[in-house]
């Protein structure tokens, strides 16, 4: 039962997260609108971008139970940007797939994961069209499969928190493209520390490199 205690609260956590994201967008929008523009009679409203992204996800897990190799997956979803001048806020809801290969002493077969990634990124324009993006990311685990393990999802915590840093370029014809590195902060090992093999005390943390391209509707 201890394996599933975290999963009971996943839905509530996602609802709270999206409430925080919405509040962040509202506060950011309000703050940039409120900034005075010297010499202007009216204030210029911030610009908004909404669109879709798709790309490649290369992910690995740290820890003695894993081979620590980056394996390919896909990432896709939607994004919304609010920006004004050199500052912006980017909020995304992205589905990503990942594959983790265990060492033979732990398990056999490949673990195939499906995550929902929700990054909330502060943006800063470095120069024309190129933006730096940094911020936190919350990732609930949607599913985990392995043909050699009865209940593979029970081995992993229901979500994890990470930090994101990357670059995004805003191209003509409503195209966006970017690269980012995701560093997991949470130990997602859900095995009891009392397990005699010692795997329970092994720290598992996600690492990933993502490449994406997208289209802006606005």
Dump pLDDT digits (tens) for 138-171.
999 999 999 888 899 999 999 999 999 999 999 9
CATH topology of domain 2-34+45-216: Porin (2.40.160)
- Single pTM value for the model: 0.79
Quick check: 2 pLDDT over 50?
Answer: no
Dump pLDDT digits (tens) for 4-57.
344 445 555 555 555 555 555 555 555 555 555 444 444 678 999 999 999 999
Q: What are the domain boundaries of the chain?
A: 2-34+45-216
Instruction: Give me the pLDDT at residue 30, please.
Output: 56
Instruction: Give me the pLDDT at residue 148, please.
Output: 87
3-state helix, strand, coil in the chain (%, to 5): 15, 50, 30
Contact 203, 63 (CB under 8 A): yes
Helix (H, G, I), strand (E, B) or coil at 29: helix
């Amino acid at each position: 039962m201890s394996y599933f205690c975290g999963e009971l609260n996943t839905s509530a956590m996602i609802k709270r997260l999206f409430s925080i994201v919405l509040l962040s967008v509202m506060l950011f929008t309000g703050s940039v609108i409120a900034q005075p523009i010297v010499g202007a009679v009216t204030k210029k409203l911030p610009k908004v971008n909404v669109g879709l992204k798709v790309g490649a996800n290369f992910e690995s897990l740290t820890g003695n139970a894993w081979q620590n190799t980056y394996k390919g997956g896909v990432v896709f979803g939607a994004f919304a940007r609010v920006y004004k001048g050199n500052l912006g806020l980017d909020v995304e809801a992205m589905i990503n797939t990942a594959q983790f290969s265990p060492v033979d002493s732990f398990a056999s077969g490949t673990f195939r994961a499906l995550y929902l990634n929700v990054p909330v990124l502060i943006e800063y324009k470095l120069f024309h069209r190129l933006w730096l993006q940094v911020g936190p990311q919350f990732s609930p685990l949607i599913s985990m499969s392995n043909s050699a393990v009865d209940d593979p999802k029970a081995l992993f915590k229901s979500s994890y928190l990470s930090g994101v840093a990357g670059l995004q370029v805003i191209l003509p014809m409503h195209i966006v493209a970017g690269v980012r590195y995701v560093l997991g902060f949470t130990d997602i090992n859900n095995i009891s520390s009392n397990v005699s093999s010692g795997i329970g005390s092994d720290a598992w943390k996600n690492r990933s490199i993502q490449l994406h391209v997208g289209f802006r509707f606005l």
